[in-house]
Structure 1
Amino acid sequence: MSTVRRLVAGLAVTALLLGGCSLPDSTDPKYVGPAATLNPAQDRAQDPPSPQGVNNLSDLVVRYLMTSVGGNVTSPDQPDAVSETQARMKTFMTEAARDRWSPGPQAPLIVVQAKFNNLEGVPGTNRSSLAVEFTPIGQLNRDGQLVSAQLPDNFEPNFVFEGEESGGEMRLSKVPDTMLLSVGGLNEWYQPQPVYFWESGVDAPKLVPDLRYMPRVLPASKRVSEVMLWLVDGPSTWLAPVVEKLPSDVETKDKPTLQPDGSVVVNLSSKARAKSPEDLRKLSSQIRWSLERHPPVTLSYENAKDTTNASDGYESDNAAVVPGEPDQEKFVVVDGVVRPSDIPVGGPPQLFLPGPFNTGVVSATINREHTRAALVRRLNGKQQLVVSGADSSAEPKYVDSTVPPSAALSRPAWINRPAQRFLVADGSRLWTVTPPAKAGEAAKADVVPGIVSGAGDATLTAVSAFSVAPDGRRIALIVNGKAMIAPVRIENGRLRLGEQRPVPNTLGDNQAIGWLSETTLAIGGKPSPEGNLLPNASYSLISTSIDGTGETPLPLRRPSDTSTYIISQLSARTNDPTESLQQVLVLFEANQQARAVFADNTSEIKLSNAGPAVSPSASPPPTGKPTSPFYAD
């Protein structure tokens, strides 16, 4: 296993554990996820890695591949960022190497996964060499986006670093003639920071996050300026079909100012005065959500403050914010019946009461209000989807959908945005089901089309699992055993997916997926090959950012606990982005058993019943093992 990769895994796991180290084993673990805030940025700039005190080549190369932090910043507020970064990188080199190294002022910052191979010393000398294999992950552009790498002609995927020791310290005598940043450097020296854009095509829009990376070497005031530049430049290409750019009349007059109390004042040109109060409120909220820690934002015009456009009430503009305590009620299927794992005093929801439809159930979903539900039932050797009727208290509680029976259907899901629908996959196609609006009305099913890479606008195939983000405009998919994400468009009331983007990871096969946070996924499947992120161990459950960086095996304190599992289903509760301490709320099925993730292990989900007493004539208590666990959608 490479030194860089072990370092990345160690840093991530250590950071994740810090949030949950005081929790007892039986509580849900808390951590700060890899695509949220691992190390909250300070109000001052952090000093980047230096070569001081390093006396061996491996450690020096690890630091060197991190010290390029900030090399993607080319904003007017930071005109010398690239030259300063290159000057810092040269401090790792011998004088002769500095004279030879010339990546150029327009050199892209390429993010690489580094695998360290042979470290060799030259007998009788102070020189040594280290062979490193580079796998390009992408490149960081000026807007903090990790995009597809445009490799320069002089990029070398296999490179042998050479070093010389002098005065007890090592310096590099041979380096690649490019600007490289390791995945470890990205995780340690960049702050994952989504910026937000208003969704398009709906009457009551919400904000949609767009993952970016902020260099920690920038002080707080300049980080605010960078965010404003990112917003003005617009959304990422993949997300652009479902969100709106900033209006053209939004022009910043001067640099934003960071107040002593942490609030931010954004000075706009006089053009903004013509905007409606609601448009200005939305702009304030958009900026506030896009800033780290979401400080209060006030707009001013030509340096004249207008406090009526402060960003109070910004929480309601994000669909991931759910008022009140997070709903952690668990549901399972036992002996073909869906039920809460812990039946409350009032009994199960109306839609999950015993009855003719609540038999032969394979998987299910229910919304948080318990007014909509769907069941996948096994009938005549095939799986069929039924959905709840217009009135959850009336009979029959369920009606047939027009999704064709299949050998295997995914667990269904309910979404509120961008339209209220059920979704299900049949192992090939993704289906959307419009529920009945009134008694006697049928449920209507449609295939969800999407843009297939290399095939244009077409029907998606080989979809076996999925999970929709709270905003409803992004979907995570398992396609041909690989994790993908795609934007969700709505056209004339019908859903359509944009082009899929891969989420690379180290699992042997991807089978289940869910959203841990707005920009973090939980992925389960077949075990990874040993030694990927854990020395001499494997795992089958991970958390990772939506671009595949920051991958961490779960559970946090015992990451190899899933090494013998094949995870076939997964349900995750998405964290509230206003909470500073995030949680891992994951349920999964592995080896025909429902399990929950805790800090130290995964545990079988047990059944309990605090509901009404069961009469002697009622059905006998369940004897089978719980399967297909899920949270309410």
Structure 2
Amino acid sequence: MRRRVLAVLLAGALLPAGLAGCGIPDQTEVQVDGAGPAAERGSLNGGGAQPPTPADSNEPAPFIENYLAAAAAGEREQAYTRAKEFIADDAKDDLREKRQNSEIELTVVRLRERPEVTPPNNDRTSTVTIKVQQVGVLRADGTLGPAAASETEYVFRLRPVAQNRPELRIYELPNVLLASDDALWRYYGAHTIYFWNSDLTRLVPDQRYLPAAVPAERRVTEVVKWLTGGPSDWLARAVSKLPDNTTPINNATGSDGRWEINLNMPGATESNLAQLATQLAWSLPELTGQLDLKIQNQKRLTVDLKQERAAHPAYPVGGKPERFGVYDGAIHPLNVVGETSGPVPVAAAKNRNVVSASLNRSAGDKVLAALVVTRSDRKQVLRVGSGPGPVTVFNDSTEAYGAIGRPTWLRSLDSDNPAGLVVADGRLYLFDGAAGMRPVPLTISGKVTAVAGSLEGHRIALVVNGALYVAAVSVDGSQVGVGQPRRLVTRLSRPTAVDWIGENQLVFAGYEGNRPAIYQTTVDGALGTKLEEDIGAEVTQLAAYPGPVGGGLPAISYMYEANRAAYKNNPVENIKREQVKDVPTPPAGNRTANPTAPFFYY
């Protein structure tokens, strides 16, 4: 029987090439049909961007930067051909074709600084050295896998094509097909596809990349191949694959608002097809009209894609978000111009000695509340309760800890059995509705300092040993497991806090050199952008709202704590004492504390 899923926010919709913009948009307002996702930052790239050519620059550094874009600037099968246009004829064989399972892969690198150029010699040759971070391997199925190489720099040697001509060519180079992360921004589109979780109650996003040069009519075929091929490696533990041996038959076809997909699906049932139809509707958010699903040329199901998305939204997010923070040991609403925050959904008797908190309304008419509370002995406990607001019945954890981080609720569980994750004294714990805490085993060792749950509750972001990770979360009844964490390569070092700011986007704080900063990055660490710099103090807490434009807050909304004070973005400003609601006004001249530990309730 077909299961119902709950509400969607941001999805990385990939529009036809003629509608996609170039570069890194500050904010996109593209909407898909129905009550569905707005495009995530960086999801609509490529399109009109023209591939670089050797003739575009005769200067060594820009020439190599263009070379690092050439392989990514078109369809994958021609990647080596485009790259070799930059190579001297007698050196073309130095870039030997390498394929994994007959498919071309790109080694994606991030330049740490501008290319270093050794001035031309008497024979007008020059050397260009690039210092890089290894970001990952872009595979033919659109996934960005972990980096396979360890090189931190590459060296290229250049010379003119002839003595009396200025055009350059490479005559010595590394034997690896390179692409820069900037080229990935410019020539690829980030596209989200969806897999069902293990009990078929929730869709889980999976980010892929598709060259913008791929014709629009072929994109449906690519999405079908991705779905039948299975999820990204790191996500596999949290999701269900399509039935074994499901494969596409020929390419998908479509015209006049009607699309047709023909598959082999052994033992296909009505439930299988209904589940696949929902996956396809959300994995192809730019499409409207009818979709015919055929099994071995026999039409088995027809759905209206727009109606399918409206009837089966994806995530448990209801109501407009509200801002809260901690002031004088209690949760209080925060008053921001143009926004409204209701009363605290926690009984006053339990809203005391609070250090940080997490409130969640994904459980229907229930409020899920998790509070970190300081006891009289200065130890901390986790106080957990649920019910109609204001929540009056709470349980405290039986163990006390030296320091507990901000908890995060897992939105994937049954509302009758709520649970979440929290960091305490450097370890990750699962907590339940009765505040029972048990350690969560991880396959990596080290001190855990932060955790944040995604919109659908089957992915988490972690800070472990000063590095940023993502991991899949599997749920089997009351058992919750965390898969192999994947480390993300980012521009910031020593991350201190993280949260999900979009369906496939993280916002995190760390250090740029020795300066605290806040960045945004994709779930695979490939594409990122700076949000704030020169903060002046380490960010100790960070909370984001991953909602669409029109959801009561601007897109890319987050708040953070630094130096025991709370801040917001859009625009960046300190949240002042006067913005804390439901507290008496202090006498004139009295110094008062700042609000801290800000968070969103949604």
TM-score (norm. length: structure 2): 0.82
Instruction: Measure, in 2, the Cα distance between the counterparts of 1:366 and 1:58.
Output: 51
SS class of match (1:211):
strand
Residues 303-359 of structure 1, C-alpha deviations (whole Å, 9 max, x = no match): 5656643332325645447466xx2310011111111113999961341x5x33222
Instruction: Measure, in 2, the Cα distance between the counterparts of 1:467 and 1:502.
Output: 15
From 284, 293, 302, give the equivalent of 2:286: 293
SS class of match (1:342):
coil
2:263 aligned partner: 268
Instruction: Measure, in 1, the Cα distance between the counterparts of 2:223 and 2:549.
Output: 18
From 409, 412, 420, give the equivalent of 1:417: 412
Amino acid across the alignment from 2:358: T
From 52, 56, 64, give the equivalent of 1:53: 56
SS class of match (2:292):
strand
Contact 1:164 1:173 in 2 (8 A): no
Contact 1:320 1:577 in 2 (8 A): no
2:3 aligned partner: none
2:233 is the counterpart of 1:240: no
SS class of match (2:70):
coil
Residues 535-585 of structure 1, C-alpha deviations (whole Å, 9 max, x = no match): xxx45211011221222111xxxx4352x1210001111134999x98111
1:603 aligned partner: 574
Instruction: Measure, in 2, the Cα distance between the counterparts of 1:411 and 1:465.
Output: 8
Contact 2:422 2:428 in 1 (8 A): yes
2:598 aligned partner: 629
Instruction: Measure, in 2, the Cα distance between the counterparts of 1:357 and 1:596.
Output: 27
Instruction: Measure, in 2, the Cα distance between the counterparts of 1:335 and 1:528.
Output: 32
Instruction: Quickly say closer, same or farther: Cα 1:543–1:58, change in 2 above 3 A.
Output: same
Instruction: Measure, in 1, the Cα distance between the counterparts of 2:219 and 2:367.
Output: 44
Instruction: Measure, in 1, the Cα distance between the counterparts of 2:334 and 2:152.
Output: 54
Instruction: Measure, in 2, the Cα distance between the counterparts of 1:543 and 1:415.
Output: 22
Instruction: Measure, in 2, the Cα distance between the counterparts of 1:141 and 1:346.
Output: 45
Contact 2:577 2:593 in 1 (8 A): no
Amino acid across the alignment from 1:632: Y
Amino acid across the alignment from 1:417: S
1:139 aligned partner: 137
Instruction: Measure, in 2, the Cα distance between the counterparts of 1:170 and 1:292.
Output: 44
Instruction: Measure, in 1, the Cα distance between the counterparts of 2:321 and 2:237.
Output: 33
Contact 2:40 2:503 in 1 (8 A): no
Instruction: Measure, in 1, the Cα distance between the counterparts of 2:251 and 2:340.
Output: 57
2:43 aligned partner: 37
1:78 aligned partner: none
SS class of match (2:533):
helix
Deviation of 1:156 (Å): 9.1
From 66, 79, 83, give the equivalent of 1:89: 83
Deviation of 1:624 (Å): 1.9
2:219 aligned partner: 223
Instruction: Quickly say closer, same or farther: Cα 1:582–1:97, change in 2 above 3 A.
Output: farther
Contact 2:547 2:555 in 1 (8 A): yes
Aligned length: 554
Amino acid across the alignment from 1:452: T
From 170, 175, 178, give the equivalent of 1:177: 175
2:455 aligned partner: 470
Contact 1:418 1:473 in 2 (8 A): no
Kindly report the root-mean-square deviation, in angstroms, between the aligned alpha carbons of the 2 structures: 3.6
Where do residues 69-108 of structure 1 align in structure 2 (5 Å cutoff)? 69=72, 81-82=76-77, 84-98=78-92, 100-104=94-98, 108=105
SS class of match (2:412):
coil
Contact 2:333 2:581 in 1 (8 A): no
Residues 22-69 of structure 1, C-alpha deviations (whole Å, 9 max, x = no match): xxxxxxxxx9655x5142x54xx8643222332111111111111112
1:17 aligned partner: 26
Instruction: Measure, in 1, the Cα distance between the counterparts of 2:177 and 2:97.
Output: 7
Instruction: Quickly say closer, same or farther: Cα 1:270–1:85, change in 2 above 3 A.
Output: closer
Instruction: Measure, in 2, the Cα distance between the counterparts of 1:571 and 1:291.
Output: 30
Instruction: Quickly say closer, same or farther: Cα 1:158–1:314, change in 2 above 3 A.
Output: same
Deviation of 1:391 (Å): 5.8
Amino acid across the alignment from 1:529: G
1:386 aligned partner: 383
Q: Which moved more, 1:205-214 or 1:338-347?
A: 338-347
Instruction: Measure, in 2, the Cα distance between the counterparts of 1:292 and 1:313.
Output: 11
Q: Going by fraction, where is strand more abundant, 1 or 2? A: 2
SS class of match (1:386):
strand
Contact 2:228 2:248 in 1 (8 A): no
2:506 is the counterpart of 1:521: yes
Instruction: Quickly say closer, same or farther: Cα 1:193–1:389, change in 2 above 3 A.
Output: closer
Gaps of 5+ in 1: 1-11, 21-30, 74-80, 436-442, 454-459, 531-537
Instruction: Quickly say closer, same or farther: Cα 1:316–1:61, change in 2 above 3 A.
Output: farther
Instruction: Quickly say closer, same or farther: Cα 1:609–1:513, change in 2 above 3 A.
Output: closer
Amino acid across the alignment from 2:250: D
SS class of match (1:87):
helix
Deviation of 1:17 (Å): 2.7
Where do residues 188-337 of structure 1 align in structure 2 (5 Å cutoff)? 188-200=186-198, 202=199, 205-248=201-244, 250-261=246-257, 264-269=259-264, 274-276=268-270, 278-291=271-284, 293=286, 295-296=288-289, 298-301=291-294, 308-311=302-305, 312-315=307-310, 317=312, 319-320=314-315, 322=317, 327-337=320-330
Gaps of 5+ in 2: 1-20, 30-37
Deviation of 1:595 (Å): 0.6
Deviation of 1:622 (Å): 10
Instruction: Quickly say closer, same or farther: Cα 1:114–1:165, change in 2 above 3 A.
Output: farther
From 58, 63, 66, give the equivalent of 1:63: 66
Deviation of 1:509 (Å): 1.7
Instruction: Measure, in 1, the Cα distance between the counterparts of 2:325 and 2:136.
Output: 40
Instruction: Measure, in 2, the Cα distance between the counterparts of 1:129 and 1:360.
Output: 62
Contact 2:459 2:473 in 1 (8 A): yes
Q: Which moved more, 1:163-172 or 1:230-239?
A: 163-172
2:573 is the counterpart of 1:573: no
1:491 aligned partner: 476
From 343, 347, 365, give the equivalent of 1:348: 343
Amino acid across the alignment from 1:284: A
SS class of match (1:98):
helix
2:525 aligned partner: 548
Instruction: Measure, in 1, the Cα distance between the counterparts of 2:366 and 2:53.
Output: 56
Where do residues 116-155 of structure 1 align in structure 2 (5 Å cutoff)? 116-151=114-149
Residues 222-254 of structure 1, C-alpha deviations (whole Å, 9 max, x = no match): 222222111111112221112111113644222
2:533 aligned partner: 560
Instruction: Measure, in 2, the Cα distance between the counterparts of 1:345 and 1:234.
Output: 43
Amino acid across the alignment from 1:401: S
Instruction: Quickly say closer, same or farther: Cα 1:297–1:607, change in 2 above 3 A.
Output: farther
Instruction: Measure, in 2, the Cα distance between the counterparts of 1:133 and 1:615.
Output: 55
1:588 aligned partner: 560
Instruction: Quickly say closer, same or farther: Cα 1:595–1:142, change in 2 above 3 A.
Output: same
Instruction: Measure, in 1, the Cα distance between the counterparts of 2:211 and 2:410.
Output: 35
Instruction: Quickly say closer, same or farther: Cα 1:102–1:392, change in 2 above 3 A.
Output: closer
SS class of match (1:112):
strand
1:506 aligned partner: 491
Instruction: Measure, in 2, the Cα distance between the counterparts of 1:299 and 1:271.
Output: 18
1:363 aligned partner: 356
SS class of match (2:277):
helix
Deviation of 1:632 (Å): 1.2
Instruction: Measure, in 1, the Cα distance between the counterparts of 2:212 and 2:501.
Output: 24
